[in-house]
Amino acid sequence: MHRWSELFIPTLREAPADAEVASHKFLVRAAYIRQLAAGIYSYLFLGQRSFNKIIGIVRQEMDKIGQESYLPALHPRELWEASGRWSVMGDTLFRLKDRKGADLCLGMTEEEVMTEIARKELRSYKQLPQIWYQIAPKFRDEPRPKSGLLRVRQFLMKDSYSFDIDPAGLDVSYLKHYDVYRRIFDRCGLRYMIVEAHSGAMGGSESHEFVVRTPAGEDQIVSCENCSYAANMEKATSQLAAIEDLAGDGKPLEVHTPGQKTIEEVARFLGVSPKNKIKTLALMTTEEDPKIGKPKPRAVVVLLRGDHQLNEAKLSTALRGKESRPMQEEEIQQVFRSPAGFLGPVGLGNLATVKDGAFGEGVILLVDKALEGRKNLIAGANRADYHLKNVTPGRDFEPTAYADLRSVTAGEGCPNCATPLRVDAAVEIGHIFKLGYKYSESMGARVLDRKGKEVTPIMGSYGIGIERILTAAVEQSNDDDGFWLPPQIAPFEILVTPTNTNEEKLMTTALEITSKLETGGFDVLLDDRDERPGVKFKDADLVGIPFRVTVGKKVTEGTIEIVQRSTREVHDASIDAVTDYFQKLFRPAR
């Protein structure tokens, strides 16, 4: 029997001053977690119990499609160099040296280790498909840990990896995960959405995120309330209302725009809408120079409609997976021979073209599709205090390529049905995606197919953030006094509260009810502390347990109270009927 008086549940009356989001405040106040360092948390008794419940559900469902394993968190550098991620991951990868000076890192995910096992052990198509998973800590040296458990440097992840002989096989493994994830999140009692996601630059063909809408979230998701369209911001597209082009049929014409640098300033100065203006962004990327075998900088110019925002994930896709950064002032001078603020595409020499799917020499000029077919736009003249009128893409400059580069905003038309889209913040709790051949190829995993030919297995990878399930649940269900969890993931399902432990009748009844409920298969916590009722009720409201049985004065009439935390609904039940009551209530969920 779990007696509160003997347990370590240090609830707090006040939240730590630096807690901003509800889940952070309440998980600390309710004694689920304590912070050890930035983005690093200890899980106390209640928190760990809740995580164990979540892990239990995840494990039970994952066992239906995969095999559990447990991989090291400490990885040798060589493994990550083989996949190329040692350099790609930058400072987000925790790195350390052992006593001999050998480089190691702490795993962020385990593609390398899983693929290493596959490379060494898998020989034949007969061994495929495989789905291997684990539930283990992951480490990421986030530039900015924040929001309690939402963005941390160490966290628990269920990660799984599939190996298939061909893309059709991958489709099956992917779908299995899709279905199992739905069961997992359903069982965890979350209200979640499934959205199309950016699959990363390297060959990922399909990807879905499982998200929970909450203002505390860091993801932006775009969804349609009319049809089923839903995607995250990195992937979302929309239909745009037609824009009336400015009149004019001449060649580009310089106009004096003294000191007018920003889109808004220029538009106001010229009396036009930002929608008739071109936004010119100057960026630098790096690429391998085949002649010298070393990376060299490469200029990228991006054009967007004046009121649109660049989406970096889409840009990265358009650049074949390369990262980029804004140009420095000197670099802008070099490429444009113009101060920032008056940049434009007209007259840019040395533009790259695309041949055989690769960029040729020169400046890469990427133009957002929203500018395709537009006419008579305003753009910078590459000269201080001047802009150009009558700029028409395709006539006055030739883009290297048109691409979808902009972020969708709320109210734009759904790509399927034109209904205005909504944009919401959300927490990502799960992500599945088709990796393709990236790791199996780079790390040299090969199997023989039916014909005895060597082929590279195709992979998928799939993650679930354990802590985020709890965090999202708290964000979804809280009020001023605390939060309530779905019984399936709550540390306890029922809290039994005798209002006065000094009254023998109350205590014996509370003990009796507690043990009956336990016998009935419920997880029960008995609040046997010698505290005033107010204190116990406040704690009861705080700690996330979805039901409370109050044992008070009415025991003399053979009655106790059952309180549902979510609604605060109270009803009386006879002492003998308590177990029955919960059995009926819980049966649908069990």
CB of 285 to RNA, least distance (A): 12
How many chain residues touch RNA (CB under 7 A)? Answer: 64
- Spatial CA neighbour of 490 closest among 551, 430, 540, 550: 540
Query: How are strands ordered across the β-sheet holding 478-479?
Result: 478-479, 482-484, 543-544
Cα distances from 239 to residues 11, 195, 307, in angstroms, run: 51, 18, 15
- Spatial CA neighbour of 177 closest among 66, 288, 326, 86: 66
**Residue pair 528/507 in contact by the 8 Å Cβ criterion:** yes
Dist CA 333 CA 267 (whole Å)? 24
Q: Which lies closer to RNA via its Cβ, residue 66 or residue 341?
A: 341
Out of 89, 538, 564, 577, the residue judged to bind RNA by CB under 7 A: 538
Cα distances from 493 to residues 45, 83, 380, in angstroms, run: 15, 45, 64
Q: Which lies closer to RNA via its Cβ, residue 37 or residue 292?
A: 37
Dist CA 344 CA 528 (whole Å)? 73
Q: Does 35 bind RNA (CB under 7 A)?
A: yes
Q: Does 175 bind RNA (CB under 7 A)?
A: no
Q: Does 145 bind RNA (CB under 7 A)?
A: yes
Instruction: Write the CB contacts of 83 (distance below 8 Å, at least 6 apart in sequence).
Output: 111, 112, 115, 438, 439, 442, 443
**Residue pair 344/280 in contact by the 8 Å Cβ criterion:** yes
Q: Does 144 bind RNA (CB under 7 A)?
A: yes
CB of 227 to RNA, least distance (A): 26
Out of 240, 340, 418, 507, the residue judged to bind RNA by CB under 7 A: 340
Out of 2, 9, 39, 442, the residue judged to bind RNA by CB under 7 A: 39
| Site stretch for RNA (CB under 7 A), options 224-232, 437-445, 547-555, 579-587 | 547-555
Q: What does R_g of the chain's alpha carbons equal in angstroms?
A: 29
Q: Which lies closer to RNA via its Cβ, residue 263 or residue 426?
A: 263
Dist CA 423 CA 401 (whole Å)? 28
Q: Does 537 bind RNA (CB under 7 A)?
A: yes
Q: Does 292 bind RNA (CB under 7 A)?
A: no
**Residue pair 443/83 in contact by the 8 Å Cβ criterion:** yes
Binding mask 405-444 for RNA (x = CB under 7 A): --x-------------------------------------
The residues facing 105 across adjacent strands are: 75, 95
Q: Does 554 bind RNA (CB under 7 A)?
A: yes
Q: Which lies closer to RNA via its Cβ, residue 19 or residue 470?
A: 19
Q: Beta strands 559-564 and 569-574: pairing type? A: antiparallel
Query: How are strands ordered across the β-sheet holding 494-498?
Result: 2-3, 524-526, 494-498, 547-551, 559-564, 569-574
Give the CA dihedral 407, 410, 413, 416, nearest 10 degrees.
80
CB of 468 to RNA, least distance (A): 16
Q: Does 550 bind RNA (CB under 7 A)?
A: yes
Q: Does 222 bind RNA (CB under 7 A)?
A: no
CB of 355 to RNA, least distance (A): 27
CB of 145 to RNA, least distance (A): 5
Out of 390, 488, 539, 546, the residue judged to bind RNA by CB under 7 A: 539
| Site stretch for RNA (CB under 7 A), options 235-243, 348-356, 451-459, 549-557 | 549-557
Q: Which lies closer to RNA via its Cβ, residue 83 or residue 238?
A: 238
- How many CB atoms sit inside 10 A of residue 502's CB? 8
DSSP letter at 451? T
DSSP letter at 363? B
- Spatial CA neighbour of 128 closest among 484, 521, 456, 580: 456
Which residues, numbered 3-32, are part of the site for RNA (CB under 7 A)? 11-18, 20, 29
| Site stretch for RNA (CB under 7 A), options 125-133, 408-416, 439-447, 553-561 | 553-561
CB of 141 to RNA, least distance (A): 11
Out of 309, 353, 419, 564, the residue judged to bind RNA by CB under 7 A: 309
Q: To 5 degrees, how large is the angle CA 130–CA 132–CA 137? A: 165
CB of 407 to RNA, least distance (A): 7
Reduced to 3 states, what is the DSSP secondary structure of residue 589? helix
Binding mask 245-284 for RNA (x = CB under 7 A): ----------------xxx---------------xxxxx-
Q: Which lies closer to RNA via its Cβ, residue 153 or residue 176?
A: 153
Residues in contact with RNA by the rule CB under 7 A: 11-18, 20, 29, 35, 37-39, 143-147, 261-263, 279-283, 308-310, 312, 325-327, 332, 340-343, 407, 481, 499-500, 502, 530-535, 537-542, 550-554, 561, 563, 570
